[in-house]
């Protein structure tokens, strides 16, 4: 059972009233040191003299918490991939108008409902890119969310735009590890308040936010320029104490956008003592039963709006007596579209819908990005770059975003629209080439594989294995760090450590000239006069319909090629 503060002291009526009279309170956007300097007077001494406050009645019922995450601007129902009976199965899910109906149904049945989104709200579609996220904010406001956490991609339009977009949302935002750069490279004040609270049925719940501190490494460095990120464990224990002792919360939840592996690692750290749940995001994992760790339980509700996480907290006589968690699949047939949201979406899309729906090619096979090692979406990108760019090796980042596309037309072909190009590649990066020695390639491969499969979960980046063509790599995912790669060939020949290979990839905004796709010490770096989107469109115009089945360039030796998660060591399966 969660810890309940001791209310056995005098002045119980005043404390109970003060705790339960406000529905939502925000934590100050200050550093822990600043908070420690504040007056720590008790709630009683903050009550105006002479107030006559009576005890609130004990209450019974259920508090329902709903969570979405990593929707990535997928505002319509879409194809979704499920892994059932050892094979991929596709069916329709999601759509904001359908999620809104689910929200409304839950709220109508239980007014003690609180709804949260834990990040990656403004990146991931053509509509979001062409409006720099501005078209998405009205939809989120209309949905009636109660609290937000910024994700790793909220910075895609740079710091000021992130602040404006999140500032335009009606509900509060929390994040305890994003600080303003004070101008000297040191952290200043928090960008957003650290925490928020919610009180119903005599129970107070505290929400503490943490986003991915690896954003400057995972994303283009310039996106997050002006922001200092810290690891959650640097101030976690402090804020848990604030929520438990000062705010007198009965239940504490971390809202996290760290990735499931890192969220599990955090839940096993002593700093997490006093936390009941981590509501996670970032890695698009579908946790159907809470993962029980040493100090907290961890959940994560998939991506693209396909699922809503639901935690029901049972309350009797103002005390928490039980809980139940489930992952709710958003079936558009079950949850009919809410008219008002559908109309708002149509209004926001109207200036762009012709471009979004324009068909630029066709595929004979379903397009997806769910498998850790190789996927059809990334194979399509690699094939297009190999056709356009004359280098020995082609690289594509190990992105996760983009829902599948599997529904064929009357001719049995799967349409690829311009909008879907943006879903696959929201950032239309410039194509870049450079020379890289075999020795640097090998070091880079080991580092990238460790980012995905590190035994220390806190060191996992959260992305998939980087994708490549022209180079064949055999590796042990769960091998020893620095010794995972077993064999590398380029053009059918063993990798030569001394030789310089020509490599193409995409430019990352803010990287130095000596870096390509996180490979350091490259030479002869050069940006080409075209970007990824035109390359894909040209390739599809000449080669459609395509069948981008993986080439087997990456061969995992100690796990199946159908590996769907990087998480290990706990009872969890992606399905």
What is the Cα–Cα distance from 457 to 260, expressed in whole angstroms? 9
- Both 120 and 240 in one domain: the answer is yes
Question: Domain boundary residue among 284, 312, 343?
Answer: 343
Amino acid 523: pLDDT: 97
Tell me whether strands 147-148 and 113-117 are parallel, antiparallel or unpaired.
Answer: parallel
Residue 36 covered by a domain: no
What is the Cα–Cα distance from 399 to 388, expressed in whole angstroms? 21
Which pLDDT tens digit goes with each residue over 117-157?
999 999 999 999 999 999 999 999 999 999 999 999 999 99
- Both 335 and 364 in one domain: the answer is no
- Both 147 and 258 in one domain: the answer is yes
- Both 385 and 301 in one domain: the answer is no
> Range of 379's domain?
357-556
Residue 546 covered by a domain: yes
What is the Cα–Cα distance from 65 to 489, expressed in whole angstroms? 51
Q: Provide the 10 A C-beta neighbour count for residue 26.
A: 15
- Both 325 and 384 in one domain: the answer is no
Which pLDDT tens digit goes with each residue over 314-371?
999 999 999 999 999 999 999 999 999 999 999 999 999 999 999 999 999 999 999 9
Amino acid 46: pLDDT: 32
b/e per residue 163-183 (b: at least 16 CB within 10 A): bebbeebebbbbbbbbbbeee
- Both 281 and 376 in one domain: the answer is no
Residue 44 covered by a domain: no
- Both 386 and 335 in one domain: the answer is no
Amino acid 32: pLDDT: 39
DSSP calls for 226-262: TEEE--GGGTHHHHHHIIIIIS--SEEEEEEES-HHH
- Both 369 and 334 in one domain: the answer is no
- Both 362 and 400 in one domain: the answer is yes
Question: Domain boundary residue among 343, 367, 390?
Answer: 343
Amino acid 81: pLDDT: 98
What is the Cα–Cα distance from 332 to 303, expressed in whole angstroms? 16
- Both 267 and 120 in one domain: the answer is yes
**What is the number of domains present in the chain?**
2
User: Residue 569: helix, strand or coil by DSSP?
Assistant: coil
Ranges under pLDDT 70 in the chain: 1-58, 462
Where would I find the H helices in 223-375?
236-241, 260-267, 339-349, 353-356
> pTM for the complete prediction?
0.89
Amino acid 58: pLDDT: 61
CB 376 within 8 A of CB 550: yes
CB contact set of 272 (below 8 Å; sequence gap of 6+):
236, 240, 254, 266, 278, 293, 294, 295, 296
- Both 308 and 365 in one domain: the answer is no
> What CATH number has the domain bearing residue 95?
3.60.21.10
Edge-to-edge order in the sheet of strand 319-329: 147-148, 113-117, 61-68, 307-316, 319-329
User: Residue 414: helix, strand or coil by DSSP?
Assistant: strand
């Amino acid at each position: 059972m969660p810890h309940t503060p001791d209310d056995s002291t005098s002045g119980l009526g005043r404390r109970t009233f003060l705790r339960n009279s406000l529905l939502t309170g925000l934590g100050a956007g200050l550093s822990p040191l600043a908070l420690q300097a504040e007056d720590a007077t008790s709630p009683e001494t903050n009550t105006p003299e002479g107030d006559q406050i009576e005890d609130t009645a004990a209450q019974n019922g259920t508090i329902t918490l709903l969570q979405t995450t990593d929707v990535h601007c997928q505002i319509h129902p879409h194809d979704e991939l499920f892994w059932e009976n050892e094979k991929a199965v596709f069916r329709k899910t999601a759509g904001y108008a359908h999620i809104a109906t689910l929200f409304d149904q839950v709220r109508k049945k239980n007014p003690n409902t609180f709804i949260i989104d834990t990040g990656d709200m403004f990146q991931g579609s053509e509509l979001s890119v062409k409006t720099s996220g501005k078209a998405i904010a009205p939809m989120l406001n209309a949905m009636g969310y109660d609290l937000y956490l910024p994700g790793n991609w909220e910075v895609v339009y740079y710091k000021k735009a992130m602040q404006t977009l999140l500032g335009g949302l009606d509900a509060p935002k929390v994040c305890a590890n994003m600080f303003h750069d004070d101008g000297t490279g040191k952290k200043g004040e928090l960008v957003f308040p650290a925490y928020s609270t919610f009180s119903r049925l005599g129970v107070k719940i505290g929400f503490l936010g943490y986003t991915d501190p690896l954003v400057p490494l995972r994303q283009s460095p310039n996106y997050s320029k002006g922001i200092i990120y810290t690891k959650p464990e640097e101030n976690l224990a402090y804020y848990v104490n604030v929520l438990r002792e000062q705010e007198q919360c009965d239940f504490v939840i971390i809202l996290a956008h760290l990735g499931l592996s890192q969220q599990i690692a955090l839940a096993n750290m002593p700093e997490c003592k006093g936390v009941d749940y981590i509501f996670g995001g970032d890695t698009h994992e579908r946790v159907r039963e809470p993962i029980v760790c040493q100090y907290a339980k961890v959940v994560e509700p998939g991506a693209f709006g396909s699922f809503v996480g639901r935690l029901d907290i049972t309350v009797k006589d103002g005390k928490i007596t039980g809980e139940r968690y489930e992952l709710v699949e958003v079936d558009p047939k079950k949850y009919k579209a809410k008219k008002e949201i559908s109309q708002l979406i149509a209004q926001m899309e109207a200036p762009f819908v012709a471009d979004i729906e324009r068909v630029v090619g066709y595929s004979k096979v379903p397009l997806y990005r769910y498998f850790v090692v190789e996927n059809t979406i990334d194979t399509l990108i690699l094939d297009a770059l190999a056709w356009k760019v004359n280098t020995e090796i082609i690289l594509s980042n190990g992105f996760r975003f983009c829902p599948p596309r599997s529904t064929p037309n009357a001719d049995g072909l799967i349409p690829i629209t311009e909008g879907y190009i943006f879903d696959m590649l929201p950032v239309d990066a410039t194509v870049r080439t450079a020379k890289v020695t075999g020795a640097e390639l090998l070091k880079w491969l080991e580092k990238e594989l460790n980012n995905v499969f590190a035994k220390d979960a806190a060191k996992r980046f959260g992305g998939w294995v980087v994708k490549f063509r022209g180079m064949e790599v055999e590796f042990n995912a769960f091998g020893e760090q620095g010794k995972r790669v077993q064999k590398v060939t380029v053009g059918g020949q063993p990798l030569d450590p001394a030789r310089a290979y020509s490599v193409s990839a995409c430019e990352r905004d803010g990287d130095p000239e000596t870096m390509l796709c996180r490979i350091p010490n490259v030479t002869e770096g050069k940006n080409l006069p075209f970007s990824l989107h035109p390359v894909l469109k040209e390739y599809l115009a000449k080669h459609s319909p395509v069948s981008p089945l993986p080439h087997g360039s990456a061969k995992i030796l100690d796990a199946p090629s159908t590996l769907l998660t990087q998480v290990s060591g706990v009872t969890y399966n992606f399905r």
